[in-house]
Amino acid sequence: MICNNSVTIYHMSGLDAITHFEVWTRYNYENAWVFGGKGASINKGYDNANDIEIRLPYSKNDNLDVSNFAIGDIIVVGTLTQSINTQDDLKDYLVYNITSIKNNNFGSKHIHIGGK
């Protein structure tokens, strides 16, 4: 599988019992196939213009696990190193939220993520 970018995924793993802040775990993947993104598209129509598709191949990403993702998690194209307490910490970045997750265990094994 051809990889054209890196992605950072922030997975919300719950709330801190003391501070009641969201607890976000950051996952960086250097080898991702990224297609789509923000902006109008004649082919996809206005409603789907902001859709993004990401494929993460198991063979090119160490410690890749489908259980590290959930609907609503945050996707940022590129590699970020900052930790966050709320989604608002990423207001300076172009972000997407995961809307679908598929674990493809056939052919070129990969995780297929859809987002808006």
Residue pLDDT, tens place only, 32-64 = 999 987 654 555 555 555 789 999 999 999 999
Going along the chain from its start, the domains and CATH numbers come out as 5-115 (2.40.10)
Closest CA to 55 of 106, 107, 101, 11: 101
Task: Please give the Cα distance from 45 to 95 (Å, whole number).
Answer: 20
Q: Residue 49 has what pLDDT?
A: 58
Q: Extract the residue ranges of the chain whose pLDDT is less than 50.
A: 40
Greatest Cα pair distance, the chain, in angstroms, is: 49
Instruction: Specify the residue for token string 């709320």.
Output: 86
Q: Residue 71 has what pLDDT?
A: 96
Q: Residue 102 has what pLDDT?
A: 96
